[in-house]
Amino acid sequence: MSPTALPPLADVLATARVVALPLATRFRGIRTREAVVFEGPEGWTEFSPFIEYDDAEAATWLAAAVDFGWHPTPPPLRASIPVNATVPAVTADEVDAVLARFDGCRTAKVKVAEAGQVLADDVARVRAVRAAMGPEGRIRVDANGGWNVDEAERAVHALAEFDLEYIEQPCAEVDELAQLRQRIGYLDIPIAADESVRKAADPLRVARAGAADLLVIKAQPLGGVRAALALVADAGLPAVVSSALDTSIGLSMGLAVAAALPDLEYDCGLGTASLFTADVVAEPLRPRAGALAVSRPVPTTAGLDRVAAPAERRDLWLQRLTRCYRLLEADVTRG
């Protein structure tokens, strides 16, 4: 997906800074999150596709960054966004320390189906979260497509005692999600689609197939704020706006989506700055009393210097950004 017009590449690169944010605990197999942040006429923006993504997929993330930096965001309908805590695939005895980083959050998203772990690890982790949050807390689990249908059905039964709010992307394929949804319908545990939206050639297929009850929306992978809002409107399903483990600048892009949605039924997954031990701004977008104020943070030069990536990583990322820009440029030329 490309924007209808692109600023000159020189304008994008003029303020571009490559940063590396340390994580408090391993997440998605990494201990450091890298990103490129740069400033457009509308403010600071972010390009941070995961390093394993190819240029074609990463170009959509750059389209989102350009859209956020060079186009006004829709008017907000709310001034603050309730957010969830995010619990990586840690051991049960580490759960309390993770939750302590998320001030006042009434909802927790717990990672499950981690490579190298077994269902008993997931059950222990979710049990620890329920014990920490009490009966009133809300728990959702995220498998990142890690189970087949039979494994997912077994896992849902094992985890159902913890009163799940929903289960996110239990299986990788849309057809699998539809089959699982039929199998577990009597349990009244909704299925949320994430990868089946943001990594799909047709992000609306999961909604048309009746394979999910709600969508997890991430601004960067979908091409930006306006594209994400259009997708939610077309899908006709409730949406949870979530993070792609962004810096606070990228999180503000997600906040713009959440703030502009006509309906916001669920706490959003935008509290992930709490997983970092450093950020690009002096006051990171970490939850206070379980919510984030809708805002657009501005980094300082000193702050960017503190989290600057090593020279070889800076060069890699700027080369990657340039390649993705050329792909967008070619799309604009063809369009």
Over residues 216-239, the pLDDT tens digits come to 999 999 999 999 999 999 999 999
Tokens representing residue 91 in the block:
């051991």
Please name each of the domains of the chain with its CATH number: 9-72+301-334 (3.30.390.10), 80-293 (3.20.20.120)
For residue 29, give the H/E element and its range: none
The annotation places the binding site for Mg(2+) at 142, 168, 194
How far is the CA of 6 from the CAs of 1, 35, 62, 67, 218, in angstroms? Answer: 12, 20, 11, 9, 22
Return the bridge partners of 74, or none: none
pLDDT for the residue 3: 47
**By 3-state DSSP, what share of the chain in percent is helix, strand and coil, each rounded to 5?**
40, 20, 40
- What average pLDDT does this structure show over 312-333? 96
Percentage of residues of the chain with pLDDT beyond 70:
99
pLDDT for the residue 2: 41
Task: Provide the annotated active-site residues.
Answer: 111, 218
pLDDT for the residue 335: 67
pLDDT for the residue 47: 98
Residue 158: band (very low, low, confident or very high) from pLDDT cuts 50, 70, 90: very high
pLDDT for the residue 333: 85
The annotation places the binding site at 142, 168, 194
Percentage of residues of the chain with pLDDT beyond 90:
95
pLDDT for the residue 4: 60
323 phi/psi in degrees, rounded to 5: -60, -45
Model confidence pLDDT, tens digit, residues 9-44 = 999 999 999 999 999 988 888 899 999 999 999 999
